[in-house]
Amino acid sequence: MARRVSEKCLEFDKHFVADLIEAPVTNRSQLNIVHEALRDSIENDLTPRQREILLMRYFEGKKGVEIAEDLHINSSTVTRTLQRAENTLRRSLRFYMRYLNCRFHEE
């Protein structure tokens, strides 16, 4: 079963965020907004299985094969599930990035 997401577990760094949303986050306030949006999206937009695999991969640092062994599933299932989770997060964060870009250009 999926594990509960803890605050400490969801401490993102700039590189993870930039790789996920394919855009740099230029200042601390922007990073905080994206972090909150990312936490919310992980908790509310992903399925329990997607959340579990995403957390194992990015926050526990496990490789796909290790995740597959731990969950007793095929490694291709891990890859597919992770890709779907990342796509869901990208779609969820697209709004926030547009908002941040608009605010950045206004300043």
- What's the CATH code of the domain at 19? 1.10.10.10
- Top-confidence residue, 48 or 98: 48
- pTM here? 0.68
pLDDT at 22 (0 to 100): 58
Is position 48 within any domain?
yes
pLDDT of residue 20: 60
Q: Is residue 64 within 8 Å of 75, Cβ to Cβ?
A: yes
What is the number of domains present in the chain?
1
In a domain, 16, yes or no: yes
In a domain, residue 4? The reply is no
Per-residue H/E/C for the chain: CCCCCCCHHHCCCHHHHHHHHCCCCCCHHHHHHHHHHHHHHHHHCCCHHHHHHHHHHHHCCCCHHHHHHHHCCCHHHHHHHHHHHHHHHHHHHHHHHHHHHHHHHHC
* Domain assignment of residue 24, yes or no: yes
28 located within any domain: yes
The residue range of the domain holding 97 is 9-106
54 or 7, which is more confident?
A: 54
Say how far apart CA 84 and CA 64 lie, in whole Å: 14
